[in-house]
Structure 1
Amino acid sequence: MSDVENMSFEDAIKELEKVVGQLERGDVALDESIALYEHGAALKARCEAKLKEAEEKVAKITLGEGASPVGTAPLDG
């Protein structure tokens, strides 16, 4: 299990899919299932954070004449 906080969205979703698959098969011991569930929850939170970040960036895109994007506004402003 890798460092979730530094994962890209794509890596986190791929690993989350693996975790869900293992849990759905039910072929792991109870303690391992609990650890997998906790890891899955962290991966889900990472994916949600990256999606929110992307949504905020899209919302900050400034539109020029004809509604074509001309740049972005800073996220903090």
Structure 2
Amino acid sequence: MSEEPELDFETALNELEQIVDNLEAGEPALAEALAKYERGIHLLTRCQGLLDGADRTVALLSGVDANGQPLTTPFDTTATADRPTSSTP
């Protein structure tokens, strides 16, 4: 069996949306519905992996240098993570 080529995000998402629509409409056979569900999980994993990769490459614009070139810093996802709020009596 040959390896499936890696799908780009948009292709994987479109196929995943089509699978969801088909499953919501009701599949005629349980075996086919289960196969589509498994394919959907595979596509969802692929999309999440691509999003995680994109998240790691996002940079924040922190300014401009003397030559007009952008200064960037890596995006820190922990900076926006939910933090416990301090309670004041």
What is the TM-score of this pair, normalised by structure 2?
0.64
Separation (CA, whole Å) in 2 of partners of 1:9 and 1:72:
25
Q: Does 1:34 align with 2:25?
A: no
- Could you list the runs of 5+ residues in structure 2 that have no partner in the other structure? 75-89
Instruction: Give the 3 Å change call, closer, same or farther, for CA 39–69 of structure 1 in structure 2.
Output: farther
The structure with the largest alpha-carbon Rg is: 2
- Cα deviation code 1:4-52 (max 9, x no counterpart): x600000000000000011001033000000000000000000000000
1:46 is matched with which residue? 46
Instruction: Give the secondary structure class of the aligned counterpart of 2:51.
Output: helix
Instruction: Give the 3 Å change call, closer, same or farther, for CA 27–71 of structure 1 in structure 2.
Output: same
Instruction: Give the 3 Å change call, closer, same or farther, for CA 69–14 of structure 1 in structure 2.
Output: farther
Q: Does 1:57 align with 2:57?
A: yes
Moved over 4 A (4+): 70-73
Query: When the two structures are aligned, how many residues end up with a matched partner?
Result: 68
Greater RCO (CA < 8 Å, at least 6 residues apart): 1
- Aligned-residue CA RMSD in angstroms? 2.7
What is the TM-score of this pair, normalised by structure 1?
0.73
* Seq. identity, %: 38
